[in-house]
Structure 1
Amino acid sequence: MSIVVYCSTTLLTFDFLYMRKLALLILVCSTLEAWATPGVRVEYRDKPPYTYSESGQPRGFIIDMTQEIFRRAGVAATYSEVPVKRIFANIQNDSEAICSPSWYKLADRELYANFSLVIHKDRPHMVLVAPRVIELVKQHQSLSSLFEDPRLKLGVVAHVSYGPELDLVIESKSHSVTDSARSVESLAKMVSLNHGADYMLIDREDYDYINRMGEISAMGLLPMYYSDMPPGLNRYLMCSKSVDAETMASLNQAIRELLPELND
C-alpha cells in the first residue's frame, strides 16, 4: 500500500511502511510553500489617521488601502509599526523585502528605494498660528511673505518632509525654524504654549483628525490659508530594492484597479 501526498509545489509518493517519515515530509512541504510564496514586511509609522496601531492591530485609512492592494496583488504581507528613522534605515539597508505606505517620492529617496504608483493625493497644507502673533501674521498676504518675516519663528516636526518645495524653503530659513517636536500634536502644543515656535504647517488630514473633538481649537490656534501654498503631493508605497520587479508590477496593477483616477 502506498500513500500520495500533495503539496502545492510538489508531489511525493512513499510506502506506508515509512509513515514515520511523515513529519519530515510535512516540514518539506511547508518549506516549499514558503519558497513559492515569499512575502513582504510592511512597516508603517505612527501617523493617524493615515497609519497607526490600535490594540496591537494596524489601523488607518492608508493601512486599509494598503491591505487591499496587497490582497488584490496576491502578495503575502505582515504588518508592524516601526519608528520613522528605523523604517528608512531598514529600506536603505535592503536586507529584506520591505514596503512602507504613505511616503512622498523625493529624489534622494529614489536612490535607494522603489516607489509604487500613487495611493493617495494630499490636499494643500494649511498654517496654524498662535493668537499672540495673529496681528503680525495678518500683515502677510502670501506664504512667501510670511516665511520672510524675521519676527516669526516656524515650527516643524523633526525628520519629516513637507514636500520638496516647502522643504527647500524650510532649509533656507533654518535660522528661524525650530524642529524639536517629534509629532504634529507636540508641535501644536509648542506653538500654543510659546515654546520656541509661533506658527506651523499642518496637513489637512492631520488637522481634521487631531481637531475632531476640538483639540486644536481648544489650544487657541488659528488656521490660515494661502493661495501660494504648494499643491498637495502624491503619496506612494516606498519599498526596498529587495522587492522584486514582478512583485512591484503586481502591486501597481492592483493600485491601477483601485485608484484609476490617481494613475491615468
Structure 2
Amino acid sequence: MQISRLIVACLCISISSVAYAEDLVTIAWRYKPPLQYTVDEQPRGILVERVKKVFSLAKIKTEFVEEPTNRIFYNFKNGRKNYCAFGLYYVAERESFAQYSMPFHKDPPQTILVSPTAAKLVTAHSTLKSLLADESLTLGVIETSSYGPELDAMIHAGKNKILRSTTRQATMARMIAADRASFMFIDREDWDFLKKNDAHVRGASQVDFPDLPPSQNRYILCSKDMSATQMQRINKAIQQVYKASTDS
C-alpha cells in the first residue's frame, strides 16, 4: 500500500511539472516609460501591471523578459513558442506569424516632436498631410515599430527624407533635440514623461495638427502555438481588467 501511494504521488508531481512547463509563457516587453520600465531590475508601469493582472486572471504562468522591438519580432517570425508581447498596435501583416488579443489599452492621439532649427519650417504647415509632403524636412522613424496603420501609410506615401534607427523612442527624441532630424512622432504620455525627466530633450518642442490620426488601441500579441482556449481566457481577463481601469 505504501509503495502504491508513493508511485501515485510521484506520478502527480511529474504530471504537475509537465503542466507547469507547458503553461509557462514568456512575456516580452520593451522599455517605454511611463507605461513600461524597470525598478530594481523588475518590470513596472501601467501596462506591465495590467498585463500581470490579465495573465493572473487567465491562470497562465508567466515570466517577463525585456527585449527590444526587433528581437521581439525576430522571435515571433522564427516560431518562438509560448511567447507573447504587449503594448503593440494592430498591423494586419503580423497575423501571418502571431495572433492578437482584444484591445487592452487605448492611447490618446500621437503628437509631433520638432527639432529647434526646424520649428519654423514645421509650423509653417497647417496640416500633417502638407508636412509629410515637404521634401526639405527629415522625419525620424524607429525601425520595426508601427505608428498605427493610418500613420504608417501616411509616412510611406510622404516625401520627407527618412532617418531610420533601431534605437529607443527616448533616444530618438534626444536626436530630434540635437537637430539630427527635423521631427518625429511620439506618444503623448512618453513625451510628458521625457520632458520632465530627461534634460537632453528639452530643446525639442511639441506640435499638433488637426489631421493627426485618432487614438489607437494597443494589444497583446501571442505566438501561433498558444491555444484558442488560452486566448479566450486572456480575452475574458482583458474584459475584466480593462473595464475596471476605464471605470476607475
SS at match of 1:236: strand
- Listed one character per residue, the Cα deviations across residues 146-204 of structure 1 (whole Å, up to 9, x for unaligned) are 11112211112222111111112222337611113512222122222222x11111111
**Residue 94 (structure 1) aligns with:** 79
- Which one of 202, 205, 208 corresponds to residue 186 of structure 2? 202
CA-to-aligned-CA distance 1:75-130 (integer Å, 9 cap, x gap): 11111112222211222233421111111111100111111111101111111112
Unaligned runs of 5+ in 2: none
Q: Which amino acid aligns with 1:162?
A: Y
Q: Greater shift after overlay, 233-242 or 55-64?
A: 55-64
Structure 2 CA distance for aligned equivalents of residues 147 and 86 of structure 1: 29
Q: Match of 2:223? A: 240
Cα distance in 2, alignment partners of residues 198 and 27 from structure 1: 65
Secondary structure class of the residue paired with 2:108: coil
Tell me what 1:7 maps to: none
2:14 maps to 1:31: yes
Task: Confirm or deny that 1:13 pairs with 2:43.
Answer: no
| Residues 100 and 214 of structure 1, relative CA distance in 2, 3 Å threshold | closer
Confirm whether residue 219 of structure 1 aligns to residue 202 of structure 2: yes
Residue in 1 that maps onto 2:131: 146
TM-score by length of 1: 0.84
> Greater CA radius of gyration, 1 or 2?
1
Q: Which runs of 5+ in 1 are unaligned?
A: 4-11, 15-21
Structure 1 counterpart of 2:234: 251
Distance 1:188 1:125 in 2: 14
Give the aligned CA root-mean-square deviation in angstroms. Answer: 2.3
In the alignment, is residue 160 of structure 1 matched against residue 151 of structure 2? no
Task: Work out the percentage of aligned pairs sharing the same amino acid.
Answer: 33
Map 1:45-124 → 2, pairs under 5 A: 45-124=30-109
Count of residue pairs the alignment pairs up: 244
Contact 2:81/2:225 (<8 A) preserved:
yes
Residue 176 (structure 1) aligns with: 161
